[in-house]
Amino acid sequence: MKIVIAGCGKIGKTIIASLVKEKHEVIALDSDPAVVQQVVNTFDVIGICGNATDMTKLVEAGVGKAELFIAATGSDELNMLGCFAAKRLGAQHTAARIRDEENNDEGLEFMKTQLDLSFSLNPEQLAARAIYDIIKLPSATKVETFSSKRIEMIEIVLKPDSPLEGKTLAQIRKAAKSRFLICVVARNSKVYIPKGNFELKSGDRVGLIASESDTHKVLSFLGETPKPIKNVMVLGAGITSYYLAQLLLASHIDVKLIEKQKERCVEVCQTLKGGTVIRGDGMSQDLLLEEGIQNTDAFVALSGKDEENILISFYAMSQKVPKVISKVNRDELSSIAEGLGLDCIITPRKIVADVVVRYARALQKSIGSQVETLYSLFGGEAEALEFKVLQSFAYSSIPLKDLKFKDNIIIAGIIRGNNAIIPSGDDTIEPGDNIIVIAAGTNVYDLSDIIAAR
């Protein structure tokens, strides 16, 4: 597809990288000539220097023939106006990055309708939701949800004392009372779609699928039973912290935000209903001790600097905080931090890229299904996808045991009406189902892509 992206900052570049990997024709637009040159040198794209609302530049970029136009500049207003102009020039679908709190209230849907936006992107809100899901399941390092949360995918790291150490998946499945599926494992930079004889080891990053109603029972069986989180300390009171605090307070979880800028402290105090805002330097160990970091259930580092987030997260771990979550955008720093033991890292730009890739795949003509959800796993080495099965799907009503799937692909879940099914060989795929697929080392665009040629 032809996709035009206006705004090549951190978010824009990550979206570009993901779409180029998907082999789309990408045209990048930015007002900074140095940024345009860098993008052209890094990615196989066409670069144009210009403003997102410059009609001449939009025409030069071929917006009128684009299937998708994405405005990801740092200005909400510029993004919305750019999408409006692109739509009037003939772009089939448009998406705008809209991040400010005042633009994400009840009026957002009205603006989207009036501007004819296909969807909006809010990296901070998406990151806050991802952090909130982890806090609600503190055993997990990552939580992904499918179809109104009827099925969840949970990522955990096996500790040396884990009851799963040295067990095969067949042994685990036999001993379990609740239905779940260990569907993907990362070990020593390699990702596996494991079979029954696969033996787990400490240090493995394990992705498992379970119905939302069984999640806590499954984690208990796996020896992961931390106490519920009742209070959270957050470094920084930026937009992500604000959205996170709203979610936590709505769930009756106490929140303490630490922010050194006086103006932001006042602004948050005036708009956030509940919680505590402390003005001070969150990098100060004395301040954190004074504010009770040793007695907090979870610590979330959301400053604007990756290095600060990583360092203060390790300090929180040294103070025996049960759950520590850190926002890190740079891949190289994420790898270093994970290698040193910081296993719960959130990268907002990658979350946004997943949303865009999912939408782009959904726009592509599929024969028997359509993409509903997409998550990249383990640094992009694997994917979790949810497909809606259409009437035209050629392999309906055939038991899974009678289908031959391509290597490194597994059907991990079936959602049929209100029922969440962890599939066995006797289960079938039916029109109207939502099917969850895990794939490693390959991209899946249509549900039929998982079937091997006979």
* Domain match, 115 and 15 both: yes
**Does residue 313 belong to any structural domain of this protein?**
yes
Q: How far is CA 83 from the centre of its chain?
A: 24
Q: Which amino acid is it at 88? A: R
- Residue 273 reports pLDDT greater than 70: yes
Please indicate, yes or no, whether residues 75 and 94 belong to a single structural domain of this protein: yes
Lowest mean per-residue pLDDT among 64-78, 126-140, 291-305, 356-370: 356-370
Residue 147 has pLDDT above 80, yes or no: no
Which residue range(s) make up the domain with 340? 231-344
Q: Say whether both 153 and 199 belong to one domain.
A: yes
Do 233 and 213 meet the contact criterion of CB atoms below 8 Å apart? no
Q: What is the mean pLDDT of the chain?
A: 91
Rounded percentage of the chain residues whose pLDDT exceeds 90: 69
Tell me the whole-structure pTM to 2 decimals.
0.88
pLDDT at 367 over 60: no
In a domain, 109, yes or no: yes
The confidence score (pLDDT) of residue 100 equals 78
Say whether pLDDT at 243 is over 60: yes
Percent of the chain's residues with pLDDT above 70:
97
The CATH number of residue 414's host domain is 3.30.70.1450
Residue whose pair of structure tokens reads 């580092």 in the numeric block: 301
pLDDT category at 454 given cuts 50, 70, 90 is low
Query: For position 99, what pLDDT does the model report?
Result: 85
What is the arithmetic mean of pLDDT over 164-183? 90
Residues 114 and 13 in one domain: yes
Q: Is the pLDDT of residue 364 over 80?
A: no
CB contact at 8 A, 244 and 131? yes
138-155: average pLDDT: 87
The model's confidence at residue 368, banded by pLDDT at 50, 70 and 90, is low
Same-domain status, 321 and 431: no
Question: Is residue 226 domain-resident?
Answer: no
Average pLDDT over residues 403-410: 93
pLDDT (0 to 100) of residue 104: 64
pLDDT digits (tens, 9 = 90+) for 41-73: 999 999 999 999 999 999 999 999 999 999 999
Q: Are residues 235 and 340 in the same domain?
A: yes
Of 86, 121, 156, which residue sits at a domain end?
Answer: 121
pLDDT in the model for residue 412? 94
Of 35-49, 216-230, 417-431, the one with minimum mean pLDDT is: 216-230
Query: Smallest Cα–Cα separation from 342: which of 318, 362, 373?
Result: 318
Structural domain contains residue 51: yes
Neighbours of 187 (CB within 10 A): 16
8-36 confidence digits (pLDDT tens): 999 999 999 999 999 999 999 999 999 99
Based on the domain organization, do 15 and 111 belong to the same domain?
yes
Q: What is the pLDDT of residue 103?
A: 66
Residue 251 lies in a domain: yes
pLDDT for position 86 = 95
- At 365 the pLDDT is 60
Q: Are residues 115 and 138 in the same domain?
A: no
Lowest mean pLDDT, pick from 4-13, 90-99, 363-372: 363-372
Decide if 323 is inside a domain: yes
Alpha-carbon dihedral angle through residues 335, 280, 98, 371, given to the nearest 10 degrees: 40
* Residue where one domain finishes, among candidates 87, 102, 121: 121
Judge if 11 and 108 occupy the same domain: yes
pLDDT category at 231 given cuts 50, 70, 90 is very high
Q: Note the pLDDT of residue 251.
A: 95
Mean pLDDT, rounded, for 285-291: 95
CATH number of the domain residue 114 falls in? 3.40.50.720
Distances (CA, A) of 416 to 183, 389, 423, 426: 20, 10, 11, 15
Compute the distance between CA of residue 126 and CA of residue 120 in angstroms, rounded to an integer. 11
pLDDT at position 62, please?
96
Q: Which of 344, 375, 406 is the last residue of a domain?
A: 344
Backbone angles phi, psi at 77, to 5 degrees: -65, -40
E-strand ranges in 212-272 read 231-235, 254-259
Same domain, 103 and 82: yes
Q: What is the pLDDT averaged over residues 288-304?
A: 96
Cα–Cα dist 340/37, whole Å: 35
What pLDDT, on a 0 to 100 scale, did the predictor assign at position 254? 96
Rounded mean pLDDT, 152-180: 89
Task: Indicate whether 368 and 445 sit together in one domain.
Answer: yes
For range 384-406, the mean pLDDT: 92
Same domain, 203 and 237: no
Q: How many domains does the chain fold into?
A: 4
Instruction: Assess whether pLDDT exceeds 80 at residue 328.
Output: yes
